[in-house]
Structure 1
Amino acid sequence: MLCQLSINNFAIVRFLELDFKAGMTSITGETGAGKSIAIDALGLCLGNRAEASTVRPGADKAEVSARFSLLDIPLAKRWLEDNDLDLDDECILRRTINSDGRSRAYINGNPVPLSQLRALGQLLIGIHGQHAHHAMLKSEHQLTLLDSYANHRMLLDSVSASYQRYKLIEKELKQLQQSQHERIARKQLLQYQVEELNEFNLGEHEFDEIETEHKKLANGTALVQACQHTLFLLQDNEQGAVESVLNLAIDQAQELEGYDTALNSIGNMLNDALIQVQESSSELQRYLDGLELDPDHFAYLEQRLSKIMQLARKHHVSAKDLYQHHQALNQELSSLDSDEEKLDEIAEQLQSCKQGFIAHAKKLSQSRSRYAKELDKQVTQSIHELSMPKGKFVIDIHFNEELMSPNGCDTIEFQVTTNPGQPLQPISKVASGGELSRIGLGIQVITAKKVATPTLIFDEVDVGISGPTAAVVGKMLRSLGESTQVLCVTHLPQVAGNGHQHMFVNKQSKAGQTETSMVPLDKTQRIEELARLLGGDTITSNTLANAKELLRG
């Protein structure tokens, strides 16, 4: 629960340090005194938008801090632990606003983004403002109220998660469909190109092989002549064939060895050379004997090579890279084929995901219908107590599979009849301002009992209510305060008298400056304040007696 609120240089507050207790705390004050200023300051600790105008004139910055006990708030404690912001059984939220409008937020002394203040604040405090009744006219807010009462968070999370999955797959499908025309055109081009290359059927190393063989055949005559001339030099040259010359040299070397054994190696080397020359001659002769200069084969190679060059130019690649280009086109074509298959698969996934979402949404709708009937009875009973004895309240729910949203497929409408014999109609068409306030307050109190938020603030939600109805409202809020900390800003003595404690807001002007203060009242002071609320500035014995009757705390 909220234990303490400290306010420095905020609006017309110079300094306030307020201690709060369990139960219902009534907050009253004169018109314009700033009864809601503490609520506004607390809102900053919960992540509300900060403005430079909230800084007290003449001050450099405003600072607000709120201290909470977490003994009975396991969800908030777990949140702090998950975010490494834990501080035993207490939590301190602090916000500073500079005069230029910049602000900083802290949780347990650690600087944090506003999003974290808001996330934690939702687990600590629920604020019901005086405009909540008007928000109740909107279908989406009606749905939020019903879901808050039903407290079926797991069902809501399941619906939201399945909806997000559906939208993700739907987005992927749309992207594939949007690019389908481009894929079809690309596929047609690829099919033509691949078909042409498939027909030509170039082997992986074929270009290098053709190029080598073509070069050999293109130079066939020169090749034969060179081979023959080389053989002539090695064997047949009458003036000095290499083989004959080497034989003469070997004979001479043998003669030299007789004179000096140191020259033995010369003969060995010349013998080796002769063997190499003879083997070269034999190899060259075999090559020449096997050389075939087939003009038909040469024409085939010419045609094949020409086609390779033509296709390479057509596909803007080198002849050497044509084979790899062919494989890449094949792979891209296969990929486009798989995209078509993927399109069908995703369409099936989307349909399956939609059915899964609808199944979750139906469970949520069934839960809403069940709790709606329960809430119908309680709100109807509440408005009977709030001076609408013939009123009837009904929540109308319609399930439509085509209205998919993160909140399911339900459309919801609060319907009411305030007079006997009148049919149920939408609350926006039937209820007057006062009736709307009473119905809205009844719903807020009933739903607040079901929500786990440990502190509830009602900021002048009793506008438009008076007399016996106000007394019933006071009893409702006090009853709520038995199990939940309730802070109630009110101008009605019948409501204020039901508080377990009472705080008074006062505004004073000194030396040209205005300051607001808020102080707790003892029993005598409470009677005087209730008397003021009953009778205005003139307090009589009768108003004091009436005030004593109203005081319950």
Structure 2
Amino acid sequence: MLVNLSIKNFAVVKQLTVNLEEGLTAITGETGAGKSIAIDALSLCLGERADAASVRKGASKAEIVAHFSLRNQTAAVNWLEEHALVDDDDASCFIRRVISREGRSKAFINGSPVSLQQLKAFGQYLIAIHGQNTHLQLLKDDYQRKLVDQYAQHSQLEADVRNTYQLWKEKQHELKTLQEKAEQRADRHQLLSYQVEELNEFALAEDEFVELEKEHRRLSHGQTLLEQAQTSFYHLYESDEGNALSIIQSGLDKLSELEAHDSALTPIIALLNEASIQVEEAASELRAYCDGLEIDPLRLQQVESRYSKAMELARKHAVTPEALYEHHQQLVSEFKTLANDENRLEALSEAVVEAKQCYMAACKKLSKSRQIAAAKLGTAIEDQIRQMNMPHAVVDLQVTMRDDKPPTPHGLDDVTFKVSTNPGQEADKLEKVVSGGELSRIGLAIQVLTQSQHGIPTMIFDEVDTGISGPTAAIVGALLRKLGMNSQVLCVTHLPQVAAQAHNQLFVTKYSDANSTETQMLALTRQDRIDELARLLAGDKVTESALANAKELLESAESN
């Protein structure tokens, strides 16, 4: 609930601090005194946009601080915890809004800066403000649907409709995308069919081109390789005029004879021994190489043909020959994917039908629940407003599911609020039947009936009793008092019958001099309340009779 409101340099308020109590608090005052100033200030604390006109003339900034008790307000505390805005005392919360003379605005929750979106999101757990035009929402079909849903408390059914709707739309979009690209896929499929068939026929293996390249070089230079290898073998091992191996061995023999005279020759002899072994092994490898080297013109022709074909296909597909195998596999994969897309089209078409059926089934369940809730809510509203000087009122809340209606995330229902206020009058839509006062009564009745559903601790009514008077005003006041038994209710009113029903009363007054105007809000004692009620009853000239009537009015309200 709202514990305290502090306003500084806002509009005509220079400095104002108000402590609020539980129950119903009536806010009264002369016309033009600024009774709605506190509501305007609270609206800013709930995220409404501000401008430089909000700042009192001559001040550099306006500042509004609202202190809330969060006792038993689990949703509000959870929101603060989720956004890391919990104060040391998690049972209370402070909202501060500052507006500069230039129109710039800053907002804080428990001292931490927040955005207007965060203020609005948090404010929905704290206060519900019902202005003079709020009940006009009752005329909107969308609001009537929300009203029935709120009363029914079938959030899971609503979620099922939203989820099945979303799934249906996703499947439809996926199917449409596939269908729109069908012609492109057909052209691509035809091209890939030819390309893949050609590459399949060539059937280049992984890393085969690298081996082809090596073999091509070897075969095309086979004669030269054989001649040079044989010459090298001759000089290393076979030449009678002096081959490399015999020369090394001759030097090794001579040095070995001298080793006994100089040990420095030992490592040299070791190196020559190793050289002799290496030369002999190299000669052996060369002999094997020459024996295994074949000059095969037919094989060369085959390799050249495949090598040239690989080069040709690589140029054709604009890839390097080394990447031709990988490119082939990618084309095969894409070709299979395109073939699968055709199967997906059929599967998706079936999925769309299935998703629609799920959506329709969810809509039917939601519609049935709405019909049951609408009947109960209509009866409850009817009973309530008949006690508000509308004894012949008939309320008919109709819920009709229309299969021909464009699908929405909220289902396929048309919710129509019909009322008859006079005997013999056929029930019709609200805007065609009820007056402004009757609409206010219906709206107030709904607030009483749905109080337990919305769970908002503080409700503010800004002259919602406009257009009613006399006995009806007393009934409205009693209803507001009933609301105040379970929630904190603030009501700006000009009706004594409503003000008398309040548990607490604030009086708004305005002081003016030649240079400025200032608004104050005062908590009234019991005698002050009697005097104010008398003023509301009699006008500016308060008589003894008016005072007596005011006292009687207050005592009557207190005794109920």
TM-score calculated relative to the size of structure 1? 0.88
Summarize the Cα distance change of 1:63–1:262 in structure 2 as closer, same or farther, 3 Å threshold: same
Work out which of the residue numbers 96, 107, 110 in structure 1 matches 2:109. Answer: 107
2-structure distance, mates of 1:3, 1:253: 112
Match of 1:417 in 2: 420
CA drift at 1:182: 4.4
Amino acid at match of 1:242: N
CA drift at 1:28: 1.4
Q: Residues 409-449 of structure 1, C-alpha deviation per residue, up to 9 Å, x if partnerless?
A: 32211111223333322222233334333333333333335
Work out which of the residue numbers 464, 474, 485 in structure 1 matches 2:467. Answer: 464
- RMSD (CA atoms): 3.3
Q: Residues 46-99 of structure 1, C-alpha deviation per residue, up to 9 Å, x if partnerless?
A: 222222211111111111112222223233233333433142322222211111
- Does residue 83 (structure 1) correspond to residue 86 (structure 2)? The answer is no
Work out which of the residue numbers 513, 516, 520 in structure 2 matches 1:517. Answer: 520
Summarize the Cα distance change of 1:59–1:180 in structure 2 as closer, same or farther, 3 Å threshold: farther
Q: Residues 251-284 of structure 1, C-alpha deviation per residue, up to 9 Å, x if partnerless?
A: 7976887788669989998898788777766655
Match of 2:390 in 1: 388
Summarize the Cα distance change of 1:438–1:210 in structure 2 as closer, same or farther, 3 Å threshold: same
Match of 1:192 in 2: 194
1-structure distance, mates of 2:98, 2:348: 50
1-structure distance, mates of 2:64, 2:432: 42
2-structure distance, mates of 1:438, 1:252: 127
* Pairs aligned (count): 550
CA drift at 1:151: 3.5
Summarize the Cα distance change of 1:255–1:29 in structure 2 as closer, same or farther, 3 Å threshold: closer
Amino acid at match of 2:9: N
2-structure distance, mates of 1:160, 1:252: 98
Match of 1:539 in 2: 542
CA drift at 1:43: 1.2
Residues 379-458 of structure 1: pairs in structure 2 closer than 5 A = 379-400=381-402, 403-448=406-451, 450-458=453-461
CA drift at 1:300: 1.7
1-structure distance, mates of 2:256, 2:438: 139
More off after superposition, 38-47 vs 260-269: 260-269
SS of equivalent to 2:78: helix
Match of 1:306 in 2: 308
SS of equivalent to 1:465: coil
CA drift at 1:463: 1.4
Summarize the Cα distance change of 1:309–1:255 in structure 2 as closer, same or farther, 3 Å threshold: closer
- Percent of pairs with identical residues: 49
Give the unaligned 5+ runs of structure 2.
none
Match of 1:478 in 2: 481
Contact kept in structure 2, 1:155 and 1:360, CA below 8 Å: yes
Contact kept in structure 2, 1:25 and 1:486, CA below 8 Å: yes
1-structure distance, mates of 2:142, 2:486: 28
Residues 111-510 of structure 1: pairs in structure 2 closer than 5 A = 111-164=113-166, 166-167=168-169, 178=180, 181-227=183-229, 229-230=231-232, 240=241, 242=243, 246=246, 284=286, 287-337=289-339, 351-400=353-402, 403-448=406-451, 450-510=453-513
Summarize the Cα distance change of 1:285–1:443 in structure 2 as closer, same or farther, 3 Å threshold: closer
Match of 1:13 in 2: 13
Amino acid at match of 2:15: F
Summarize the Cα distance change of 1:95–1:289 in structure 2 as closer, same or farther, 3 Å threshold: closer
2-structure distance, mates of 1:80, 1:95: 17
CA drift at 1:174: 5.0
SS of equivalent to 1:123: coil
Amino acid at match of 2:527: T
CA drift at 1:314: 0.9
Contact kept in structure 2, 1:250 and 1:267, CA below 8 Å: no
2-structure distance, mates of 1:276, 1:7: 102
Work out which of the residue numbers 523, 526, 529 in structure 1 matches 2:529. Answer: 526
Contact kept in structure 2, 1:527 and 1:544, CA below 8 Å: yes
CA drift at 1:22: 1.6
Contact kept in structure 2, 1:129 and 1:460, CA below 8 Å: yes
Amino acid at match of 2:97: R
1-structure distance, mates of 2:115, 2:341: 43
Give the unaligned 5+ runs of structure 1.
none
- Does residue 29 (structure 1) correspond to residue 29 (structure 2)? The answer is yes
Amino acid at match of 1:91: C
1-structure distance, mates of 2:366, 2:168: 17
SS of equivalent to 1:317: coil
CA drift at 1:343: 5.8
CA drift at 1:400: 3.7
Amino acid at match of 1:470: A
Summarize the Cα distance change of 1:294–1:454 in structure 2 as closer, same or farther, 3 Å threshold: same
Summarize the Cα distance change of 1:58–1:157 in structure 2 as closer, same or farther, 3 Å threshold: farther
Summarize the Cα distance change of 1:419–1:295 in structure 2 as closer, same or farther, 3 Å threshold: same
SS of equivalent to 1:136: helix
Q: Residues 500-551 of structure 1, C-alpha deviation per residue, up to 9 Å, x if partnerless?
A: 2221111221242011111122233222322222232222333333333322
1-structure distance, mates of 2:255, 2:156: 111
Amino acid at match of 2:391: P
Contact kept in structure 1, 2:24 and 2:488, CA below 8 Å: yes
CA drift at 1:186: 3.7
More off after superposition, 96-105 vs 217-226: 217-226
Summarize the Cα distance change of 1:443–1:237 in structure 2 as closer, same or farther, 3 Å threshold: closer
2-structure distance, mates of 1:428, 1:45: 33
2-structure distance, mates of 1:524, 1:499: 14
Q: Residues 205-244 of structure 1, C-alpha deviation per residue, up to 9 Å, x if partnerless?
A: 3222222222233233434444555566567767x2638x
Summarize the Cα distance change of 1:259–1:523 in structure 2 as closer, same or farther, 3 Å threshold: closer
SS of equivalent to 2:125: helix
More off after superposition, 291-300 vs 341-350: 341-350
Contact kept in structure 2, 1:6 and 1:64, CA below 8 Å: yes
Q: Residues 360-387 of structure 1, C-alpha deviation per residue, up to 9 Å, x if partnerless?
A: 4444333322221111112222332333
Summarize the Cα distance change of 1:378–1:271 in structure 2 as closer, same or farther, 3 Å threshold: closer
Contact kept in structure 2, 1:503 and 1:519, CA below 8 Å: yes
Summarize the Cα distance change of 1:153–1:457 in structure 2 as closer, same or farther, 3 Å threshold: farther
Contact kept in structure 2, 1:149 and 1:451, CA below 8 Å: no
CA drift at 1:171: 5.0
Amino acid at match of 1:473: V
More off after superposition, 74-83 vs 154-163: 154-163
2-structure distance, mates of 1:40, 1:52: 14
- Does residue 62 (structure 1) correspond to residue 72 (structure 2)? The answer is no
CA drift at 1:166: 4.9
Contact kept in structure 2, 1:390 and 1:418, CA below 8 Å: yes
CA drift at 1:334: 4.1
Contact kept in structure 2, 1:449 and 1:480, CA below 8 Å: no
Contact kept in structure 2, 1:532 and 1:538, CA below 8 Å: yes
Contact kept in structure 2, 1:441 and 1:462, CA below 8 Å: no
Summarize the Cα distance change of 1:47–1:164 in structure 2 as closer, same or farther, 3 Å threshold: farther
Summarize the Cα distance change of 1:66–1:164 in structure 2 as closer, same or farther, 3 Å threshold: farther
Summarize the Cα distance change of 1:242–1:508 in structure 2 as closer, same or farther, 3 Å threshold: same
- Does residue 71 (structure 1) correspond to residue 71 (structure 2)? The answer is yes
More off after superposition, 21-30 vs 258-267: 258-267
TM-score calculated relative to the size of structure 2? 0.87
